[in-house]
Structure 1
């Protein structure tokens, strides 16, 4: 009886090494892609929070620093705009917002648009509805943040 002697391979063949490199490469690409997307989303979120603070600052400034009569004067001018250079929450609160407003629409975003109208449901037209629309763009996509509140003698 003859014994068949088998030779056992004691190392890895080139196919196993290539497969492991391919799997490792796919995992690394997925991790880096996820990291890039996460960074973009963090940047968008930061901008959104900044614009939300600006919108709140405009609302706060109008509620606290503007009288009903001054709002009625602004209403007579039509839509009013706050340009990019004045879109700083500290500046909006620090200065009188009436000094920062313009009647002509800005050409570049971001900017705030104020739409002022009388409340139809109010008694004797003593309430004004103020709508704040913040127009901005991130990565060439257009967005709007809007809020509406009341100001008046009630």
Structure 2
């Protein structure tokens, strides 16, 4: 049997180890919860950005389909104005803007941006490509539709 003094010293040692273990477990759980919250915030901002870019692309598609003429599409193709920089565009701000003024001939330096490709002669095939950076990789979403030279 250990003398009484040695038993007290052993209990103090175990008490110190228990406190250190509980602090370590608490800090690990706290850091895990913190990382989960930060990742959730990143996913939320990414989803808001992608939603905004998708709405901008949908607006551009509908505006070209229903409000642009055949000649204005040919004009965009001739001037090679095929890029829309989506990084600073908000869907609420572009509702009252003519969509042809959003196009430029310079490729944006960073994602997200939209590329317009117009092919064909009598019936134009319009291809819109949304280039967006998703978790370090560039993701491309495409949309195709046709525009013809129809008289009403």
> Normalised by the size of structure 2, how large is the TM-score?
0.72
Which ranges in structure 1 are unaligned for 5 or more consecutive residues?
119-124
Structure 1 residues 18 and 99, CA gap change in structure 2 (3 angstroms): closer
Question: How far apart in 2 are the matches of 1:27 and 1:86?
Answer: 38
Which ranges in structure 2 are unaligned for 5 or more consecutive residues?
none
Residue 148 of structure 1 corresponds to: 144
Question: Mean alpha-carbon deviation: is it higher for 47-56 or for 11-20?
Answer: 11-20
Question: How far apart in 1 are the matches of 2:128 and 2:116?
Answer: 5
Matched, 1:82 2:84: yes
Structure 1 residues 79 and 43, CA gap change in structure 2 (3 angstroms): same
Matched, 1:131 2:133: no
Tell me the secondary structure at the aligned position of residue 101 of structure 1.
Answer: coil
Kindly report structure 1 stretches of 4+ aligned residues shifted beyond 6 Å.
7-12
Question: How far apart in 1 are the matches of 2:88 and 2:146?
Answer: 23
Alignment RMSD: 3.3
1:61 and 1:92 in contact (8 A); partners too: no
Question: How far apart in 2 are the matches of 1:110 and 1:28?
Answer: 35
Matched, 1:53 2:49: no
Task: Report the alpha carbon displacement of residue 55 of structure 1 after superposing the two structures with TM.
Answer: 0.8
1:128 and 1:152 in contact (8 A); partners too: yes
Number of aligned residue pairs: give it: 144
Residue 73 of structure 1 corresponds to: 75
